Amino acid sequence: MSKLKNKVAIVTGASKGIGASIAKYFAAEGAKVVVNYASSKEDAENVVKSITANGGTAIAVQGDVSKESDVTRLFEETKKAFGTLDILVNNAGIYQYAPIEEFSAASFHSQFNINVLGSLLAIQESLKLFGEKGGNIINISSEAGKTPLPTGAVYSATKAALDAITIALSKEFSGRNIRINSILPGVVETEGSRSAGFIGSDAEAKFVATTPLGRTGQPEDIAKVAVFLASDDSGWITGEKISVSGGIYGL
């Protein structure tokens, strides 16, 4: 397995969930992986240990992607460790579902600063390390960006914005050998969805009942598509929004 042999990848928000799975799958395909985390140091180090125990190469680097100085340091540490960058996965993100009556400026800014601003800052820094050889950017968006749910107006808006960024930059990068795509997960079982009480709830059961593939997604479902987009197998794909949702949003 060497689809990403000798490639260097940064995965933001990779201490758990989808990000951790992507980091592990990338490493299994030969990539050297930077496991970014904001606060979950132990979890990030466990991801690194899992990768190295299986013969892969990885380092953990702390950084809050909503802070410009942290993003700069993340890429500086990457350059120091590996000298270059080939793949950026903008996975770091937060969500807060609440009725509009409970909307607050603080919630708005926290979601947009991490989900949107953080991705833009990381993309800016990635260009410096991509250089003339080009590179590959994968934005982990959400089906919520095109099919918003009640109480999710702000979160859905952040993901719609991220998809717009993907499309706009795919055109802006014309002639620079830089590809950029969005993955739109559906309902995925992660630490976040479990702690929110969704997994095992009646709401999950309703989703599964109306999902053509009949189950909740797992982080590895997203990771496998990320490997495809990061590899030469997808060499003629850019500016796309790829749904990975078990078919529910195609109904």
Task: Give the active site residues.
Answer: 155
Q: Which two tokens stand for residue 194?
A: 């479990």
C-alpha closest to that of 179 among 138, 132, 128: 138
CB 110 within 8 A of CB 94: yes
Residue 228: helix, strand or coil by DSSP?
A: helix
CA–CA dist 117, 123 (Å, integer):
10
CA–CA dist 86, 6 (Å, integer):
9
CB 135 within 8 A of CB 178: yes
CA–CA dist 190, 14 (Å, integer):
12
C-alpha closest to that of 35 among 45, 25, 190: 45
Q: Which residues contact 236 (CB under 8 A, 6 or more apart)?
A: none
Q: Which residues contact 52 (CB under 8 A, 6 or more apart)?
A: 58
User: Measured between alpha carbons, how far is residue 75 from residues 72, 82, 146 in Å?
Assistant: 5, 10, 31
